[in-house]
């Protein structure tokens, strides 16, 4: 299984590989720039070469980038919308330069304009970027959200609508966040619940559309719309839902990324990755084992 985690790029993008290898990542998610700033210094040729050399050395992949939290492609405010489109274009181009196939994004927030208007705004922004060929073949992965406030993507039908209204659907996929779907009201605590939820999702978008997972337990209750992540088995979801997902053959080749609470020494990532591997193998859930 392609288990991994979101890793820091402090000190340079290439540094993420050393950190990922140290905790046992087989795949990895990063930010390609400071996620709290609109602009970033362009990637230098040396940066790109070091990044690709480290990926080749560690063999970690496929890689995923998560876009900036500032971006809102569903905004009704023209100035913020245009600024978001420009920032997202830069994110796509950086992925293309680094050879990263997937860019994960939250579908945005309508901030009072209404769900339909927000979805139309999001689709228009993506269509503009795709029509211009921004980012080459980089695929945009719409992340399932907790449906908090005016955030879009808390209902599977909203993601389906976006896929149906983009001009280049081959460039759009889905990243399933387990904490988010649970917080949005999809009960994945049992094998039966998981089966029903994914039957619904797959019936709407198709199995080929799901490209990645964020595996996170939830600090909040079912349907509470609280986007608060917990370690695997340490929240309201529990282990059974994760056991179902990691043993589903339809998802066996997909990158599965932790966005769980971290420790400075990496022990939390090691703990959670080891636990996921034990669920996959059907062995005991002894999380004191070392990552190979």
DSSP string, 172-223: EEEEEEHHHHHHTT---SSHHHHHHHHHHHHHHH-GGGEEEEEE-EESSPTT
Residue 289 has what pLDDT? 37
Specify if 192 maps to a domain: yes
Q: Tell me the whole-structure pTM to 2 decimals.
A: 0.95
CATH number, domain containing residue 214: 3.20.20.150
Residue 40 lies in a domain: yes
Domain that holds residue 216: 2-281
Tell me the C-alpha to C-alpha distance, in Å, between residue 211 and each of 2, 28, 33, 65, 70.
12, 14, 22, 13, 23
Q: How many whole angstroms separate alpha carbon 270 and alpha carbon 134?
A: 36
pLDDT for position 60: 98
290 lies in some domain:
no
Residue 80 within a domain: yes
**Angle at 74 (CA atoms; ends 69, 76), nearest 5 degrees:** 115
When divided into structural domains, the chain yields a total of: 1
The two counts, helices (H) then strands (E), for the chain are: 9, 10
Q: How many CA atoms lie within 13 A of 248 on its CB side?
A: 20
Which residues of the chain register pLDDT less than 70? 281-292
Q: What positions carry a catalytic annotation? A: 36, 66, 69, 106, 143, 177, 180, 214, 227, 229, 259
Q: Is residue 164 part of a domain?
A: yes
pLDDT of residue 280: 85
Each residue's pLDDT tens digit, 120-165? 999 999 999 999 999 999 999 999 999 999 999 999 999 999 999 9
Q: Any idea what DSSP says for residue 65?
A: E
pLDDT at 282: 55
Residue 292 lies in a domain: no
Residue 287 within any structural domain of the chain = no
HSE on the CB side for 120, CA within 13 Å?
6
What confidence score (pLDDT) does residue 106 get? 96
Q: What are phi and psi for residue 60, nearest 5 degrees?
A: -75, 130
Query: Is position 56 within any domain?
Result: yes
Where residue 78 falls (left for φ over 0; alpha for ψ -120 to 50; beta otherwise) is alpha
């Amino acid at each position: 299984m392609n288990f991994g985690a979101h890793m820091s790029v402090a000190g340079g993008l290439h540094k993420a590989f050393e950190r990922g290898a140290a905790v046992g990542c087989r795949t990895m998610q990063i930010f390609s720039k400071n996620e709290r700033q609109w602009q970033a210094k362009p990637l230098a040729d040396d940066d790109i070469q070091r990044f690709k050399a480290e990926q080749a050395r560690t063999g970690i992949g496929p890689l995923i980038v998560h876009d900036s939290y500032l971006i809102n492609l569903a905004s009704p405010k023209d100035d913020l919308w245009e600024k978001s489109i420009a920032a997202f274009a830069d994110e796509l181009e950086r992925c293309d330069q680094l050879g990263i196939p997937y860019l994960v994004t939250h579908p945005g927030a309508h901030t009072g304009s209404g769900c339909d208007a927000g979805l139309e705004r999001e689709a228009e922004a993506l269509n503009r970027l795709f029509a211009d060929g921004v980012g080459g073949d980089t695929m945009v992965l719409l992340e399932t959200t907790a449906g908090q406030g005016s955030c879009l993507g808390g209902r599977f039908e909203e993601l389906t609508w976006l896929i149906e209204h983009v001009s280049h659907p081959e460039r759009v996929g889905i990243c399933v966040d387990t904490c988010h779907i649970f917080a949005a009201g999809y009960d994945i605590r049992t094998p039966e619940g998981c089966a029903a939820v994914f039957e619904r999702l797959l019936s709407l978008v198709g199995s080929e559309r799901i490209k990645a997972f964020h595996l996170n337990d939830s600090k909040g209750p079912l349907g509470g719309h609280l986007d608060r992540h917990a370690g695997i088995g340490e929240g309201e979801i529990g282990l059974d839902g994760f056991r179902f997902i990691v043993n589903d053959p339809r998802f066996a080749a997909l990158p599965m990324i932790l966005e769980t609470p971290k420790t400075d020494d990496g022990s939390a990532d090691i703990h959670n990755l080891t636990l996921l591997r034990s669920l996959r193998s059907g062995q005991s859930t002894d999380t004191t084992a070392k990552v190979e």
